Amino acid sequence: MNPELQNILAQARSVPTELSTEEVRAMFDTIVPQPEQAESNNHKLTPNQIKLIIMSLTTLSLSLVIYFFGFANNINSRTTSVIAPLQSSNQSEIKFQRELNDLDYFINQNYTKQERRARTAEIESLSLLTKGTNQSISIPERDIPSVDMKKPEFEDTQDQAQDNKMKYYSNYGILRYHEVTSDPLPELSSRTMRRMKRKLYKELVNDQLIRAKGIPVTIELHKDQITINNQVLNNELEIKYYQITHKAGTGPNRKIEMHSTYIKIGDFTSVGFKGSGLGTFEMEGPLELTAPNAPEDPWNILWKEERNALNQFCENLLDQMEHIPGKNPLFSVNIKDSEKLRSLSQSLRNALIEDEYITDPEDFILITHQKDKMTINGKTLDDNQRMSYVDLLATCKVKAAPNRMVRMSKHTISIGDFTPQEFTGTLANYED
């Protein structure tokens, strides 16, 4: 070790301590209460208790003042509601506040901006009537639509537009919607998702929330609560899992669905899943590249038809070819840069026209890319030609694999591993 550093450290070790034992002893004697003192201390009120007493006394005196000096200031007024009996001053205060809030809400709902301003001014001058044990609020006469005092039945059929709103009824049965907003949909890279999945499985097993890794897990990420396989977590675990999943955001429909082969992060609504996913999983319904509720875009229809025709063409070709499907590799094709994919698509098409594999740019193309063999629309390439296409595909890190294919039509391209049941890889649609 450096002698200079050793010297400094030795000095720090050798100097007397900042406080001597006697000083600490004296301090200890002052802070540690004697048995008699400790007992007498038990009768002292804590600052919080004192605050509580003062607050209660203030509320009580205020209620008494209101009770004795309250008056009605408008003859043309009408009473709109009768609230519960005065059980305690605190309760009546709370009720009164609630009533004001409800009125405020009600007025906001039924009046225009100018009217609302005028009404707010009137509300500020509300007078309070107290008769016997009942407390009422009087409001100057105005054409207020009557309010149904009955609490309506909760409707089971949920409006689609109000999916993200929480319904509840106020004291008067006024239906209120409290909007529960979601965080924006997460755009996570496959690396982030892979890491999150690994971390989650590790921690879930450690915390004994699941038996083993790979078991299906559903994590619901609400704003105020996190549940794992319908199990509500305690505070400590909740904080821990919010930290692990913070990139996924929160929301009423926000979930993480995990299985040994995939992870899906996003909003799971009645119409389907919207978000990011990694791995192999079944798509719910037809593959839509736009929002599920959006009106059918003509391009969508075109892409769908083109892709169906392309797939049909490829399946026919594969039936005629000698193609031995094998096991999918560990890493699938994942091209994140759309520009790169676009330029690959154009370069491929140009090369294919140049090499006379296709004559029309609109022709369908099927390229199979196996270890020592490459075919284009059923024709096997010689080594020289194959290498040029291998180099071209390598620009997007597309390597050879048993089921690896490139399927192209005029407006679509799919690169990845195709088996009769599934496709794992990258696909893109173009408008020109």
Partner 1 sequence: MAEEKQQRFWKAYEEAHEAFLRYCSALSYGKMDTEDLVQDVLLSAYKNFDKISPEKPFIHYLIRAAKNRKISIWRKLKFSTELIEQQALRLQSKDVAPDKILEIQHLYQTLDRLPKSQKEAIILFEISGFSMREIAEIQNSTEGAIKTKVSRGRTMLKRLLQQEDNHLSTSMNNLKTIML
| Residue 19 vs 62, nearer CB to partner 1 | 19
* 3 state DSSP class of 45: coil
Residue 233 contacts by C-beta under 8 Å, 6 or more apart in sequence? 226, 227, 241
> Residue 220 forms beta bridges with which residues?
227, 255
Closest CA to 267 of 373, 396, 181: 181
**Alpha helix locations (H) across 245-364?**
298-320, 338-354
Burial class (CB in 10 A: 0-12, 13-18, 19+), 10: exposed
| Residue 25 vs 167, nearer CB to partner 1 | 25
| Residue 30 vs 125, nearer CB to partner 1 | 30
Name the minimum Å distance from CB 206 to partner 1: 16
- Residues at the site binding partner 1, with contacts judged by CB under 8 A: 1-2, 4-5, 8-9, 11-13, 15-21, 24-25, 27-28, 31-32, 34-35, 38
| Residue 2 vs 384, nearer CB to partner 1 | 2
Cβ–Cβ under 8 Å, residues 345 and 335? no
The single-letter code of the amino acid at 233 is L
Which residue bears the tokens 């209660």? 56
Give dist(CA 366, CA 378) in Å, integer.
Answer: 8
| Residue 7 vs 350, nearer CB to partner 1 | 7
Name the minimum Å distance from CB 204 to partner 1: 23
Q: CA 345, 351, 353: angle at the middle one, nearest 5?
A: 105
| Residue 21 vs 230, nearer CB to partner 1 | 21
Name the minimum Å distance from CB 22 to partner 1: 10
Cβ–Cβ under 8 Å, residues 185 and 292? no
| Residue 16 vs 184, nearer CB to partner 1 | 16
| Residue 17 vs 359, nearer CB to partner 1 | 17
Q: Please give the structure tokens belonging to residue 228.
A: 């794992």
Which residue bears the tokens 């063409």? 313
Name the minimum Å distance from CB 237 to partner 1: 20
Name the minimum Å distance from CB 10 to partner 1: 9
| Residue 33 vs 292, nearer CB to partner 1 | 33
Name the minimum Å distance from CB 14 to partner 1: 9
Helix (H) or strand (E) holding 78: strand 77-82
| C-alpha distances out from residue 75 to 127, 128, 140, 212, Å | 12, 14, 9, 74
Name the minimum Å distance from CB 20 to partner 1: 8
Give dist(CA 119, CA 116) in Å, integer.
Answer: 5
Name the minimum Å distance from CB 7 to partner 1: 9
C-alpha torsion angle, residues 419, 292, 168, 106 (rounded to 10): 170
Name the minimum Å distance from CB 240 to partner 1: 17
Give dist(CA 116, CA 110) in Å, integer.
Answer: 9
> Residue 365 forms beta bridges with which residues?
408
| Residue 32 vs 121, nearer CB to partner 1 | 32
Name the minimum Å distance from CB 236 to partner 1: 15
